[in-house]
Amino acid sequence: MGRFREGRRHRQLWGVELGRPYTKRRRTGGSRRNPSRRPRFTLSREHKHRYLTLAARPPVVSIGSILQLSSTTGGVSDVAIHAAVDDINSDPTILNGTTLQVDTRDTNCDDGFLGMVEALQYMATDVITIIGPQCSPIAHIIDYVANELQVPLMSFASDATLSSIQFPFFVRTMPSDLYQMAAVAAVVDYYQWKIVTAIYVDDDYGRNGIAALDDELTARRCKISYKVGFSSKAKTSELINLLVTVSYMESRVIILHTGSQAGLKLLSIAKALNMMGIGYVWIATDWLSAYLDANSSVPAETINGMQGVLTVRPHTPKSKMKSNLVARWSSLSKKYNHSDLRISAYGLYVYDSVWTVAHALDAFFDDGGRISFTNDSRLSDVTGGKLHLEAMSIFDMGNKLLDKIRNVNFTGVSGQVQFNAQYELIHPAYDIISIIGNGMRTIGFWSNYTRLLSTVLPEDQYSKPPNTSLANQQLYDVIWPGETTQKPRGWAFPCNAQELKIGVPNRYSFKEVVGLDNATGSMKGYCIDVFTQALTLLPYPVTYRFIPFGNGTKNPHYDQLAQMVADNDLDAAIGDIEITMSRTKIVDFTQPFIESGLVILAPIEKHNTNPLAFLQPFTLGMWCVTGLSILVVGVVIWILEHRINDEFRGSPREQIITIAWFSFSTLFFVQRENTMSTLGRGVLIIWLFVVLILQSSYTASLTSFLTVQQLGSSIRGLDDLKHSDYPIGFHVGSFAKEYIINQLNISPSRLKALGSPEEYAENLMLGPKKGGVMAIVDERPYVELFLSTYCKIAVAGSEFTSAGWGFVFPRDSPLQEDMSTAILALSESGELQRIHDKWLKTADCSIDNTEFVDSNQLRLESFMGLFLICGAACVLALLIYFGIMLRQYLRHKKQSGSAISVDAGLPTS
């Protein structure tokens, strides 16, 4: 890094070195300098501002790199930098003859303070670009200095908090942890795991990476249930204690975000603690794939300790350039003293980083860029220290070179090298890898282009519109820890876990459902048996204790019980808890174990005890209109027929009898009189059609009254309830109150709380006029129990909600899913029905025997159309008839007048 050679020669000719301490640097490319130095002199303040006036394209230009050469990633990066420099200098189409040199500084990432000091000392040299650093903690410090000195920092640190918004001169040359953690979260969500445990190294890299993972999991309704960090210098005993604590957690999906050294040690300890067996899931971030890719020989003990582990790797597409670099990597690594390392994804990105700088410098020089530095006056005043901060100088055209870097666009060994508006590499993608046998197997890919998992190569997806349907996600089969192909559940009930605190309603009424047995002091009832039987089907033991909710003198309010579960005051709640929309917003319910809709209870009365029951099919209005219609039709037919039909003639008394007989006989289609006029026949046909409909309806309704509907109520259903002003009863603690108020818009002043079956019966029998209620709205299971004892009350109308009872668990509780599966198994085996019959078996007087269809009589409104048609036909026939009569009368009058006139004109004899 630093200045090109002519610049330093120019400075030495002036006999000054600015009092800057000499630091030995490795230099690659071009000839090596003699490390000897001239005596140093101190430059006066007026000469602190200096420029290197050179030709537009200098013969030699140097950039720098900050690496930890002792690490796997640092060694691979060092070889990649050498390879890139050699290829650039041997390519006449780039830099147009200018030789590129790279000065490498070896820093210690494990010792944060010394690493930062070494990096800061390196920044005291005049540099134009830096490759690295690879460590996130050091990158954070160097970014502030790079911003001040306007030196582009080509870093492959993956820390998600390093951004070009805070650090404009920071250029990330590989995908950040934002994308890596999105890929990991997609894997967790794909396998439907809801909770994970995160183990991370407690530094900027680890903490910020897990924070990004937490955000991605939350977006998919998953979460990190337990986070545990450790120091990069943690001892083996500390790591053992850490994993023992993790084994006590319920989550069996473990995300490992560390460095390779600590990560391998953790996996080895986990193997010894039997935490790599069936039921466990281990997902390591890209440190594991980088380690396995780069190391040519991994000990068998190490690879055996990570069988079934999943990891991710930054995706780089296949290309001829990549194949050529991989083919000659062995000779390159031997040449540059890293013969034990193979190329990894980090090496590919670092290789392209050097080429990015070369392309940017080429454009920089073409655009008239010159390399010159200016002292920072704010640092020049800080004297007397040994950090020599006054030696730091600003790269005058750093902004221009930064723009050229951000605008590069070429195809490298890692794929397309191009930056988006956020100055991140376009199309970040990851390989999803399974460790099996002696190597790695790619089971799929994650691409930021679709944000989904797929077995299709990401580069093949870029040419098509992104398909973001979750149904298209796919991964190949995986062999999980314990050599099983069955997907792990992802969680287990810990053996040493504390017993669950389960809230149970202590009911005052209907204790057959759930309640406290005063004799034994234990909870019993239908819901208790369902819960305990479901627990026996779980593949792990669950310890619990019931906590009564309520004082037993009145029914508790279940919204409060659900809120206690949401607030983690209780681990779960069981009982007759209705699944409602408001409750599902704060807690999760299991599969319903019984249907429970709302129904209306009302007193009943028997219809068949009335001697005039045959009149009940029609309402009074219907009978009146029908009788009137009979008479009207008889009169109309008489009017239309009596002039031409002898059967409708006779004395007035005979004609009245004929009208009455004809009208009523049409009801049974036995009329003997024939109609002769066309209008009469038309009216009669329409009337007979009306009679046919009335007769059929009456017969069906009467049959229903006398055979099926032997019970009835003054309440026919929900409409009568809403349109009346009488009091309505509801069950204390039930959700019925909120439903009546919010959904039916019934005033709360009309509601009356009732707490026992006795109160139900008493209030219904009293009725609304004597201080009772018009009807009671309650849940179906309670109604079944109530009607098994009280037979003079029935259900009016039909059930008007469809819900059920379920057990309550906190949001995203894995126990909720297993309990739902157990409830379905109970239902399919018939055990659920057996429990129902044991506790909720109704007597002969049950809801099935007393429930009836609405006893609506046939109303006039239902037949109004028929009567209107018949009436219109009668009126029309009469109008036509009187019109004809009037016409004949006028014609007859005219003819009579003409005859009189003729007679008047004849001569008398």
pLDDT above 90: residue 360: yes
Q: Which residue has the tokens 């006066």?
A: 44
* Whole-angstrom distance, CA of residue 756 vs CA of residue 790: 13
Q: Is the pLDDT of residue 680 over 60?
A: yes
C-alpha torsion angle, residues 780, 781, 782, 785 (rounded to 10): 120
At 55 the pLDDT is: 45
Domain encompassing residue 739: 712-802
| CA proximity to 511, closest of 554, 471, 559, 479 | 554
> For residue 371, what pLDDT band results from cuts at 50, 70 and 90?
confident
Q: How confident is the model at residue 124 (pLDDT cuts 50, 70, 90)?
A: low
pLDDT confidence of residue 28: 45
Where is the domain boundary, 707, 735, 755?
707
What pLDDT digit, counting tens, does each position of 840-857 carry? 876 555 444 334 434 456
Task: Flag whether pLDDT at 11 surpasses 50.
Answer: no
Same domain, 182 and 306: yes
How does DSSP classify residue 38?
Answer: P
Residue 701 in tokens: 């309704």
Residue 33 has pLDDT above 50, yes or no: no
The pLDDT value given to residue 476: 95
pLDDT greater than 50 at residue 908: no
| CATH value at residue 512 | 3.40.190.10
The answer to whether residues 184 and 169 belong to one domain is: no
**Structural domain includes residue 34:** no
**Residue range 529-561, pLDDT digits in tens:** 999 999 999 888 888 999 999 888 888 889 999
Q: What is the pLDDT of residues 446-466, one digit of tens each?
A: 999 999 999 999 999 998 888
Provide the H-helix boundaries in 176-319.
Answer: 177-190, 204-219, 236-247, 260-272, 286-294, 300-304
CB 794 within 8 A of CB 602: yes
Task: Find out whether the peptide bond into 556 is cis, omega within 30 degrees of 0.
Answer: no
pLDDT tens readout for residues 643-652: 777 667 777 7
In tens, the pLDDT along 186-220 reads 999 999 998 999 999 998 899 999 999 999 999 99
Asked if residue 686 has pLDDT above 60, the reply is yes
Find, among 51, 21, 50, the residue nearest to 37 by Cα.
21
Measured between alpha carbons, how far is residue 735 from residues 42, 731, 740, 750 in Å?
A: 87, 8, 9, 16
Residues 224 and 183 in one domain: yes
Residues 552 and 457 in one domain: no
Domain for residue 11, yes or no? no
Q: Is the pLDDT of residue 101 over 50?
A: yes
How confident is the model at residue 896, as a pLDDT? Answer: 75
Tokens 């309806």 — which residue? Answer: 697
Report if residue 759 sits inside a domain. yes
Tell me the per-residue pLDDT of 214-267, one tens digit each, with 9 for 90 and over: 999 999 989 999 999 999 889 999 999 999 999 988 899 999 999 999 999 999
Q: Which residue, of 652, 681, 707, is where some domain finishes?
A: 707
Q: Do residues 608 and 705 make contact, with C-beta atoms less than 8 angstroms apart? A: yes
Does 102 lie in the same domain as 198? no
Q: Between 666 and 425, whose confidence is greater?
A: 425
CA distance 638 to 656: 9
Are 454 and 524 members of one domain?
no
Confidence of residue 3 (pLDDT cuts 50, 70, 90): very low
CB 8 within 8 A of CB 127: no
**702 and 583 part of one domain:** no
pLDDT at 901 over 70: no
Query: Are 703 and 727 contained in the same domain?
Result: no
Give per-residue pLDDT as tens, 713-740. 567 778 888 888 889 999 887 888 888 8
Same domain for 395 and 518: no
Average pLDDT, the chain: 82
Please indicate, yes or no, if residue 489 is contained in any of the structural domains: no
Residue 854 resides in a domain = no
Are 703 and 730 within one domain?
no
Residue 709, pLDDT above cutoff 60: no
Domain finish residue from 707, 728, 757: 707
**Whether residues 209 and 269 fall in one domain:** yes
Whether residue 168 is found in the same domain as residue 181: no
Measured CA to CA, the distance from residue 905 to residue 909 in angstroms comes to 13
Structure-token match 């690496």, residue found: 67
**What one-letter code names the amino acid at 372?**
S
> Does the pLDDT value for residue 275 go beyond 50?
yes
Q: Cβ(15)–Cβ(41) under 8 Å?
A: yes
Q: Which CATH number covers residue 648?
A: 1.10.287.70
Task: Determine the pLDDT at residue 114.
Answer: 65
User: Domain total for the chain?
Assistant: 5
The reply to whether 277 falls in a domain is: yes
Helix runs in 429-499, H state only: 458-461
Say if 748 falls within a structural domain. Answer: yes
| β-sheet bridge partners, residue 375 | 393
With respect to residue 220, please indicate whether it lies within any of the assigned structural domains. yes
Choice between 896 and 390, residue whose per-residue pLDDT is larger:
896
Helix locations, 421-513, DSSP H: 458-461
Contact between 787 and 793 under an 8 Å Cβ cutoff? The reply is yes
Domain containing residue 355: CATH number: 3.40.50.2300
3-state SS assignment for residue 285: coil
> Which among 290, 241, 297 has a CA at the least distance from the CA of 263?
290
Q: What share of the chain in percent tops pLDDT 90?
A: 39
**Residue spans of beta strands (DSSP E) within 129-179:** 130-131, 153-155, 170-172
